[in-house]
Chains A and B, each alone.
Chain A
Amino acid sequence: MFIKEIIIKEIKENITTSKFLFLAGGVIVLFMLNAMVSLSDYQERLENYQSIRRAEQKAQKEQCEQFSNVVFHKLRVVKRPSAESFITHAKADKLPNGVKMDFFEISNPQYFKPLDIYSKSFISLDWTNILFYLISFLCLSLSYNALSGEKINRTLQLVLSNQVPRASVITGKFTGLFTLIMIPILIGMIIHIIIYQLSPEIAIEKTRPFIALFFTGMLLFVALNLLTGLLISSLTKQPMVSLSLCLIVWLVFAVVIPGTGWLWSKQMVEIQSVHSIKVRIARKSQELLKMNQYSLKSKSSWKGKAPTEGLLKRIHYKQKEQEIMNRLWHRRIQKQFQQTDHAIEFAKISPYAVFRFFGETISDNGYSGHKHFYHQVQNFHSTYKDFLRNRDQKYEDSYHKFWNESWMAPHWMSSKPINYEALPKFTYERPNFSETLRKAKGNILYLLLWCMVLFAGTFIAFVRYDVR
């Protein structure tokens, strides 16, 4: 009842305001700019990725002349840039994008891209940021006086003196504003998709399900902002007070909490320094050495012959030492992940941060993408090792011993060539739709919960409002 009228009134009242026109125009222009910039940016990053891949393939092929060379070859493994980075860039430029690996170890994550250490951190242009800063601001600036404005003008008294149910007022106002705000967003998104559709480099059909998923979260995010404004508006009598409160809520939830999560996590998760890890490795290595006393006589004649007892002891020692090194360095990276995860969990107190990381999960970019990549690299490393081990079993000139001393160990490995095509190749697989949905489900539910709580809060506050 009356809902339709309230919706139309709300749209008509706001659509011609300079505030709406200015911000809506800005949103559309930013969406268009984002489409153009992210396209060229993606092409550039793809070229960089492909050139590294080509160089790596060439380098690996050259090593294939001898099996032992492949074992010691430092393979560069790089993450393919995300085609959905227009959803969120997620500061991917500031994060490592690859690793080096050989049979024995995976290096710490590295930057295989030009890195500008002098550049300042900035908010990049992408869908998430447009919504995060501009749309949230637009939502709050339209909704803050939706009820308190009517209270002060006494028009609310007039409306309620007719037999308009309060639920209809709230629903009507919310739907009206929601529809209004969706206009520039939809126009912007459609223009973006058309620009992408026209580009031959992007397979937009693969991206569509992710866009749809992001759209769901975006609807909730817009609703959440509007409901925040409406709740504050229904709790206050003066538009000035409701605007001030909206401002403070925005400041705390959009700026302070998402920006300070890392400060907490640094206190919660301690990461061992590089020096202390090195000291620990050295100490463990000494202990191992004591347990595996050996002596080697450095004569050229013993190289390549059946390993002596002393050499076997050394190999055993070196393999154990490598295991310790791998374990400790791996643990350090896990701690870094843990620290970052804690920071994200803290930031997620704010639904704004939830939306931001939701965008990151969908675009498979930034930290979320990197973590996924690193896990794939670990799996690939096991496959790579198993393959080389199996292949080594087939070589008759090999003593089937692997240890990380490039100046010595190849003498006991096969010097025969290996077929490059047979070597396992790393191809980064971004999480498919169902996997992404599984990851993003929690964020969607969390946003939904916020919306429901805010709607219930707004409804109760408005029902309790004494119109006299």
Chain B
Amino acid sequence: MRHFKTILTHEFQNQIKSFKFTLVLAITLMVTVFCVYIQVQDFADRKEQYNQQIERKQDMLQRARVFSEFGIPIVIKPNPLSIFAKGYEEKLGNEITISWRNLPEFSRFDFMRKSKDTVGSNEKNPYLNIFTEFDVTRIVIIILSILTVFVAAPAISGERENKTLQLLYTNPVGRVEFFLAKYLGNLITLSIPLVFVFVSAAAMVALQPFIQVEPDFFLRVLLMMIGCLLFISVFTLLALIISTATSSSSRSLTYGLLVWMLLVFVYPNALQYTVEKNMEIPSLSRLEKKKSELYDAFAQAKDKFYQNHPLNKDRSYTIHKGGQFFTTFIGVTQKYVFKHKRKELKALLPELFEMQNKLMRAVDRYRSKLTQRQKLVDQLSLPLPNHLLEQTGTKLANTNRYARDIDIRNQARRFRGQVLDYIRSKDGFGYKFFTQTEPIHMTNDMEDYPDKYFQLSYYRKDYPRLDLQDRPKFTYKEPFQFPVEIFFLIGLNLLLIVLGSHLFSGSKVI
């Protein structure tokens, strides 16, 4: 390894002084600054929408007059790391309503919600789906990888073409030594634009006054950069292997580009396309049917209750049977009606929860089927360096399916348990579910109520609000998922180093 350092330094200096390196650096920087700047502006819009959602949440909490109205919307804050790896950040929604009525699901799967998602209720313009998302990882996957091929593909074939390889072998230089030095020289050269990409992007994100980065932001960015470096290293090795097997630099570049096209465009797209065309999306109609069955079963249980406990219409002035679940009265009612409603709630609330559990299980089954396709695509993409980098990026940014979907829903489910316990502890499923008038102050006849009770009727805005100061607070704990894909990338690199060295050792000089 006597000449290793000399060859490495020579290769690095050669590359760094070349026009193509300046071009690579300029293009990468230009695209990064442009894309990150606009992504940051987009983030500002998302943050603004988030702030509006928080205001709405506060308003919703302040408006609750009885516990039947009580619900806490969980709003997931936009994640600045999504600028680096977008993943599912904007695809699944960011709000889950936690209440006795709703399922702890994003609105798309909250089958207890009356109105379903439409385009209008989604903040994102759906027509922009026709364009590709450009985040930092994608810039590396598409642009830096092609530029890597562009820089590294002629590295050996060029020397062969110029006959400098022959000249070099007149000295006692080991072939493995030469290959490794070439590889490292190119990798160090290419790591410069990569570092520029990450430093400029991280600075542009972290310096914005409206973005508060978490303490581990830079650590995550650093790990992402390491992932990208390993990815670039794979492409450098592939380009060098092609360069080893070809005699002219333009030929190695052409083959290098073909391999790039195959890995970055053809294989991932063909795979996604083939899987999507061959595995049908499970129909929602079965889930809708299940929902209707469960609703019908609940309606029957309700009818049965009313048959066993008929409501005397002559004695019920303010209340009637209607309403999908439980009709609330909020203001005042006769003691008789209150007792009847409380009995109904006591009898039917467990039925409702049971129905919700069954519905949640049905939703889980549907979702599991729905995700089968993407899981299969992911499994079949496992050897692809771009897939490994994507996984690394989204895991570190917490925008992958686990963090953005499964984990949030699990946390929401646990939080719902706390909210229901809180409602119970406040007698929220007792009289406070319907009204703030304590049962001892209720009268048998509406006329026996003093006037002040009527002034606080349902439609009056001045009806006292619930004191919810001690309500459970939801804090979203972002998971830290170490990207094991980094090890796959390291393995892939080692494999290619061995293969490249072996091929180069056996290759012709001329």
Contacts and interface: CB of A to CB of B under 8 A. Distances in A.
A336 B125 contact: yes
B interface SS class: helix
Interface in B152-175: 154, 158
- A-B pairs, 5 with minimum CB distance: A108-B120, A263-B38, A114-B281, A122-B272, A94-B129
A177 to B, nearest CB: 15
B254 A367 contact: no
Given A109-B126, A243-B253, A243-B254, A125 B273 contact: yes
B133 A244 contact: no
Nearest to B27: A248
Contacts of B35: 260, 263
B38 A266 contact: yes
A266 B41 contact: yes
Contact of A117 (B92, B134, B257, B261): B92
A259 B108 contact: no
B265 interface: yes
Given A108-B119, A248-B27, 14 more contacts: A96-B119, A111-B119, A116-B276, A122-B273, A239-B250, A240-B249, A263-B38, A266-B42, A267-B38, A271-B125, A273-B49, A274-B120, A275-B49, A329-B120
B128 A260 contact: no
Interface in A75-96: 90-91, 94-96
Contacts, number: 172
Nearest to B31: A256
A123 interface: yes
Contacts of A333: 120
Interface in A160-197: none
Nearest to A336: B125
Interface in A107-137: 107-111, 114-125, 133, 137
B22 to A, nearest CB: 12
A260 B120 contact: no
Contacts of A263: 34-35, 38-39, 42, 134
A16 interface: no
B20 to A, nearest CB: 6
B481 interface: no
A459 to B, nearest CB: 24
A255 B120 CA distance: 30
A118 B401 contact: yes
Between B129, B143, B374, the greatest number of chain A beta carbons within 10 A of the residue's beta carbon is seen for: B129
B31 A262 contact: no
B269 interface: yes
A133 B132 CA distance: 15
Given A263-B35, A266-B42, A91 B130 contact: yes
Contact of A94 (B122, B130, B258): B130
17 contacts: A37-B277, A95-B127, A96-B126, A117-B370, A118-B91, A121-B132, A123-B273, A243-B254, A244-B23, A244-B150, A247-B257, A251-B143, A258-B132, A264-B38, A266-B128, A274-B121, A337-B127
Contacts of B126: 94-96, 109, 336
Interface of A: 19, 22, 37, 40-41, 90-91, 94-96, 107-111, 114-125, 133, 137, 141, 144-145, 239-240, 243-244, 247-248, 251-252, 255-256, 258-267, 271, 273-276, 329, 332-333, 336-337, 339-340, 343, 347, 366-367, 370
B123 interface: yes
Nearest to A113: B281
B371 interface: yes
Contacts of B459: none
A333 B119 CA distance: 9
A22 B261 CA distance: 13
Contacts of A124: 269, 273
A133 B269 CA distance: 12
Interface string B29-55: 001001100110110010001001100
A273 B125 contact: no
B77 interface: no
Nearest to B253: A243
Contact of A251 (B146, B249, B373): B146
Interface of B: 20, 23, 27, 31, 34-35, 38-39, 41-42, 45, 49, 52-53, 56, 88, 91-92, 108, 118-123, 125-134, 142-143, 146, 150, 154, 158, 249-250, 253-254, 257-258, 261, 265, 268-270, 272-273, 276-277, 280-284, 370-371, 373-374, 377, 401
Between A41, A259, A261, A366, the greatest number of chain B beta carbons within 10 A of the residue's beta carbon is seen for: A259
B91 A117 contact: yes
B41 A267 contact: yes
A260 B258 CA distance: 24
A273 B128 CA distance: 16
A107 B41 contact: no
A116 B374 CA distance: 9
A26 to B, nearest CB: 9
Between A22, A91, A117, A244, the greatest number of chain B beta carbons within 10 A of the residue's beta carbon is seen for: A117
Given A240-B154, A263-B35, A122 B127 contact: no
A252 B30 CA distance: 11
B282 to A, nearest CB: 7
B27 A275 contact: no
A366 B130 contact: yes
A266 B44 CA distance: 11
A266 B45 contact: yes
Nearest to B374: A118
B73 to A, nearest CB: 12
Contact of B34 (A118, A260, A366): A260
A41 B277 contact: yes
Contacts of A247: 146, 150, 253, 257
A110 B118 contact: yes
B253 A91 contact: no
B143 A256 contact: yes
A339 B42 CA distance: 14
Nearest to B261: A137
A24 B277 CA distance: 25
Nearest to A356: B130
Nearest to B251: A19
B254 A19 contact: yes
Nearest to B272: A122
Nearest to B268: A122
Given A240-B253, A336-B127, A120 B377 contact: yes
Contact of A275 (B45, B52, B128): B52
Nearest to A140: B257
A256 B29 CA distance: 13
Between B130, B276, B284, B377, the greatest number of chain A beta carbons within 10 A of the residue's beta carbon is seen for: B130
B328 to A, nearest CB: 18
A255 B144 CA distance: 13
Contact of B119 (A110, A252, A367): A110
B373 A259 contact: no
Contacts of A273: 49, 52, 123
B265 A123 contact: yes
B143 A95 contact: no
Contacts of B281: 114-116
A114 B370 CA distance: 10
Contacts of A367: 127, 130
B67 to A, nearest CB: 25
Nearest to B127: A340
Contacts of A119: 272, 276, 373-374
Contacts of B265: 123, 133
Contact of A120 (B38, B45, B374): B374
A247 B269 CA distance: 21
A252 B23 CA distance: 13
